[in-house]
Amino acid sequence: MENEPVDPRVKILCTDHIFQNDNEMQELISAMLKNQDQLIKIIRDCNLTDGIGDPITHLSFEEGQ
Amino acid sequence: MKQEYFILQKTAIELGDMIRNKEITSVSLTNMFLERLQLAQYGLNAVSEITAETALTQASLMDKEVQQGQFRGPLHGVPYGAKDLLSTVGIPTRWGSPAHADQVIDTDATVITRLRDAGAVLIGKLAMVELAGGGSYSSASASLHGPGRNPWSLTQWAGGSSSGSGAAMAASAVGFAIGTETWGSITVPAAFCGVSGLRPTYGRVSRNGAMALCWTLDKVGPMARSAQDCGVILEAIAGPDPQDSTAATIPFQFIPSTIDGRQLKIGVLQHDYANAQIVQDKFKDALSALGSFGHTFADAVYPEGFPYNELTGLIVNAEGSASFQSFILSDKIKLLADKGQQAGLLTGLNISAADYISAQRLRSQAVKTLNTLWDQFDLLIAPTLLTEAISAEIPFMEQSNPWGGNGGPGNLAGWPCISVPMGFGANNLPLGLEIIGPNWSENTILCLAAQYQKLTEWHRMLPPFPVASD
């Protein structure tokens, strides 16, 4: 079976890192990047409208009682 | 029945009453719990540090005050344990992490200070999943202290990340415990261990001195024998704090009569019970019990259109990796017990600022939509999980238990909730009942849970470990 090409982002993340020569960790990171890509895609697909100044509640604090 | 067993079944409020009425001293109670905490340290992996010397000094002071007629409140002299992500002067704060095993933070978390002022006696720091599970962990072994074992069955997990808080409370090794939740870290161990665990509204309790995993999701809350205990503990720890600008400015007062004479409209969150028949049966029993107070129930579903769990996941990953960025980029990350967690933390650094902000933007819309549920219902209710405690020995991905869970939307919205024991499953392990409310509705949630506990004895039941000594 042909090996999948290494995700170039793994190399960037691991440059000068303790994982740079650790194949097992790089495989784990590659798998997790794929999962993370899926999360990001799902959120991007929600079609937020560009340039609308809607309030971002959880970057400030809202209180009630 | 042995005298010790009789005491160990007591709630924190009842223990406080015994101290006030001079039926027992804080010192003797502290010694009793210290003995059990040592058993929980080695038998359950539930303890990071036992603080016997300072505890006995504090307990002695509390007894002296009682002799002088002084009484600080319902927690006066009651021994407790704190999850080891709350900092304490002169006592290690290890965050459950092998990489932080020697860490001592030279400040007391606000919650620790407030509990001391309320008269509670800190007897130990309780074990937890390393870094509260930041980066996501793959097994119960993701902790400096080894897998958090469940006192109901030592082969099973206590849940996480507040593993030690759940296990020590269930084993009556503390009078009450403090846990924290970003996503499930109070409710899951509360359900698995058969204790009452309250996740307060986001902002209700100061996080000053608490390890930050996710600034916009982290909450600190009590784990105790009863819902009423959770109420008085919350009253002691909640309120404004100049050290934490996200802490609410309005103090919290526990009002046990909040729903007296009220008939609540409660939304029942829908789950697929195909592989969880016993959970469904126990849940029906719980609804039937609550129905006797006149509360009414109708089906509820989270509004469609938003990926609640994915939003929560991305936000936790991004903030968790930001919180530990220097550590992640250092050689020390290799010291973490869980390789998946090491990889997950590094991977989180790859989330762009644009995607994180988009997630927060979408979260605001999602929360607005979620809050429309409160136009129809006073509270929501569901089994906390569809499973009993899972194995502490097998990686999570290799276990096929139906999980269920209601935590993603509620944590995203900052909603408070409580998990209380609702009986036992097929393997005689505890099941949890979760009651969820709108922001700042802790009194309503606590009082409904207290009504349930008036009619049931599940919260009084003690596990076989450790056996009370003769």
Residue B186 forms part of a structural domain: yes
Identify whether residues B312 and B279 lie together within a single domain. no
Residue B98 forms part of a structural domain: yes
Q: Are B314 and B351 in contact (CB under 8 A)?
A: yes
Q: B366: distance to nearest CA of chain A, Å?
A: 11
B455 touches chain A (CB under 8 A): no
Cα B9 from Cα B182, distance rounded (Å): 29
Asked if A54 lies within 8 A of B331 by C-beta distance, the reply is no
Residue indicated by tokens 């998990």:
B419
Identify whether residues B443 and B317 lie together within a single domain. no
Residue B151 forms part of a structural domain: yes
B439 touches chain A (CB under 8 A): yes
Q: Are B311 and B366 in contact (CB under 8 A)?
A: yes
SS3 call for B265:
strand
pLDDT the model gives residue A3: 61
Range of the domain at B326: 308-365
H-type alpha helices, B47-161: 52-67, 110-117
Cα B216 from Cα B232, distance rounded (Å): 25
**Residues lower than pLDDT 70 in chain A:** 1-5, 59-65
Residue B470 forms part of a structural domain: no
Residue B271 forms part of a structural domain: yes
Identify whether residues B53 and B74 lie together within a single domain. yes
pLDDT the model gives residue B2: 61
Cα B358 from Cα B137, distance rounded (Å): 25
- From chain B, pick out residues whose CB is under 8 angstroms from the CB of A65: 248, 250, 440
- Taking CA atoms, what residue in A is nearest to B305? A46
- From chain B, pick out residues whose CB is under 8 angstroms from the CB of A53: none
Size of interface A-B (CB pairs under 8 A): 95
CB-based burial of residue A29 (10 Å sphere; 0-12 exposed, 13-18 middle, 19+ buried)? buried
Q: Are B104 and B90 in contact (CB under 8 A)?
A: yes
Residue B468 forms part of a structural domain: no
Which contiguous run of DSSP H or E holds residue B413? Answer: helix B407-413
Asked if B248 lies within 8 A of A44 by C-beta distance, the reply is no
- From chain B, pick out residues whose CB is under 8 angstroms from the CB of A57: 363-364, 367
- From chain B, pick out residues whose CB is under 8 angstroms from the CB of A64: 439-440
Cα B430 from Cα B191, distance rounded (Å): 7
Identify whether residues B90 and B37 lie together within a single domain. yes
**Strands (DSSP E) found in B96-139:** 121-126
Q: Which two tokens stand for residue B152?
A: 């109901």
pTM: 0.96
Cα B337 from Cα B115, distance rounded (Å): 32
Q: A61: distance to nearest CA of chain B, Å?
A: 6
Domain end residue (candidates: B365, B380, B400): B365
Cβ-nearest to A43 among B248, B343, B359: B359
Asked if B364 lies within 8 A of A58 by C-beta distance, the reply is yes
Residue indicated by tokens 């040592």:
B38
Identify whether residues B177 and B40 lie together within a single domain. yes
Identify whether residues B320 and B298 lie together within a single domain. no
B240 touches chain A (CB under 8 A): no
Q: Are B248 and B240 in contact (CB under 8 A)?
A: yes
Cα B32 from Cα B41, distance rounded (Å): 15
- From chain B, pick out residues whose CB is under 8 angstroms from the CB of A49: none
B73 touches chain A (CB under 8 A): no
- From chain B, pick out residues whose CB is under 8 angstroms from the CB of A61: 203, 245-246
B408 touches chain A (CB under 8 A): no
Domain end residue (candidates: B365, B384, B407): B365
pLDDT the model gives residue B467: 62
Q: Which two tokens stand for residue B401?
A: 């238990």
Identify whether residues B318 and B446 lie together within a single domain. no
Structural Rg of chain A based on CA atoms: 19
Cα B114 from Cα A2, distance rounded (Å): 61
Asked if B347 lies within 8 A of A32 by C-beta distance, the reply is yes
Cβ-nearest to B360 among A32, A59, A63: A59
Q: B441: distance to nearest CA of chain A, Å?
A: 8
B318 touches chain A (CB under 8 A): no
Q: A24: distance to nearest CA of chain B, Å?
A: 9
Identify whether residues B72 and B167 lie together within a single domain. yes
pLDDT the model gives residue A64: 43
Asked if A9 lies within 8 A of B348 by C-beta distance, the reply is no
Cα B104 from Cα B465, distance rounded (Å): 31
8-state DSSP, B73: -
SS3 call for B164:
helix
- From chain B, pick out residues whose CB is under 8 angstroms from the CB of A60: none
Q: Which two tokens stand for residue B155?
A: 């082969």
Q: Which residues of A touch B (CB under 8 A)?
A: 9, 13-14, 17-19, 24-25, 28-29, 31-33, 36, 39-40, 42-44, 46, 48, 54-59, 61, 63-65
Q: Are B190 and B384 in contact (CB under 8 A)?
A: yes
Identify whether residues B449 and B321 lie together within a single domain. no
**CATH number of the domain bearing residue B175:** 3.90.1300.10
User: Which residue, B194, B199, B253, B183, is CA-closest to B226?
Assistant: B194
Q: Point out which residues pair with B83 in neighbouring strands.
A: B126
Mean pLDDT by 10 residues, chain B (470 residues): 77 98 97 96 97 98 98 98 98 98 97 98 98 97 98 97 98 98 98 98 96 97 98 97 91 95 97 96 98 98 96 97 98 98 98 96 95 98 98 94 90 97 97 97 98 97 74
Q: Which residues of B are catalytic?
A: 83, 161, 185
Residue B294 forms part of a structural domain: yes
Identify whether residues B47 and B141 lie together within a single domain. yes
Identify whether residues B421 and B340 lie together within a single domain. no
Cβ-nearest to B346 among A13, A56, A64: A13
Cα B158 from Cα B136, distance rounded (Å): 17
Into how many domains does chain B fold?
A: 2
Residue B107 forms part of a structural domain: yes
ipTM: 0.91
Residue indicated by tokens 């303890």:
B47
> Kind of pairing, strands B79-83 and B176-181?
parallel
* Diameter of chain A measured on Cα atoms: 61
Cα B128 from Cα B143, distance rounded (Å): 7
- From chain B, pick out residues whose CB is under 8 angstroms from the CB of A29: 343, 346-347
Identify whether residues B139 and B263 lie together within a single domain. yes
Q: Are A63 and B203 in contact (CB under 8 A)?
A: yes
Residues with Cβ within 8 Å of residue B34, at least 6 apart in sequence: B50, B52, B55, B79, B123
Domain end residue (candidates: B325, B350, B365): B365
DSSP symbols for A8-65: HHHHHHHTTSTTTT-HHHHHHHHHHHHHHHHHHHHHHTT-PPTT-----GGGS-----
